[in-house]
Amino acid sequence: MTKFSDEKLAKVQEIIARYPDGKQKSALLPVLHLAQEEFGWLSSDTMDYVASLLSIEPIEVYEVATFYSMYNLQPVGRYTFEVCQTGPCMIKGSDDIISYIEQKLNIKPGQTTEDGMFTLKTVECLGACGYAPMMQMGKFYKEHLTKEKVDAIIDECRKTAAANN
């Protein structure tokens, strides 16, 4: 049974309090982000739980969560590579970067490595065209990507993960 910690629940209440009475549905996006942070991805159970927190129908959570690509509706790896594939990045070789990652990690976009470490996604413009090709990894932008840079990023992720375990 998914459930927020008391601390997170207080945060939920704080978010809800930002909106007028009866408009608690407005808190849906930030609460979903919170849920994703806490549980890693949004399962049906998690979404139902969020619906109950906001006193709305589950269908109202599903319609929102399925709309945004930032919400993960399937389990993802520890690190998510979201490679931009819009015009400028594509011209600067994002296709090569994507196929290099595919080959190196042996996954296709949308898939996760067997060890649960990496997920590869393709996304549209992240507003960093001046640093193309680029990708987003969690909260960080990785810019001017080359094959070597991708190698380094993957190595660093593995090291950090090993150190934290």
What residue has token string 């319609």? 63
Q: Are the CB atoms for 60 and 25 separated by under 8 Å?
A: yes
- Rounded least distance, CB 119 to another protein, Å: 19
Does position 59 interact with another protein (CB under 8 A)? The reply is yes
Q: Are the CB atoms for 46 and 35 separated by under 8 Å?
A: yes
Does position 156 interact with another protein (CB under 8 A)? The reply is no
With DSSP H G I counted as helix, E B as strand and the rest as coil, what are the percentages for the chain, rounded to 5?
50, 10, 40
Question: Near another protein by CB under 8 A, which window of 56-64, 74-82, 112-120, 150-158?
Answer: 56-64
Give the residue with the Cβ less far from another protein, 62 or 100. 62
Does position 63 interact with another protein (CB under 8 A)? The reply is yes
Phi/psi at 128 (nearest 5 deg)?
-125, 45
Does position 140 interact with another protein (CB under 8 A)? The reply is no
Binding site for another protein (CB under 8 A): 57-60, 62-63, 66-69
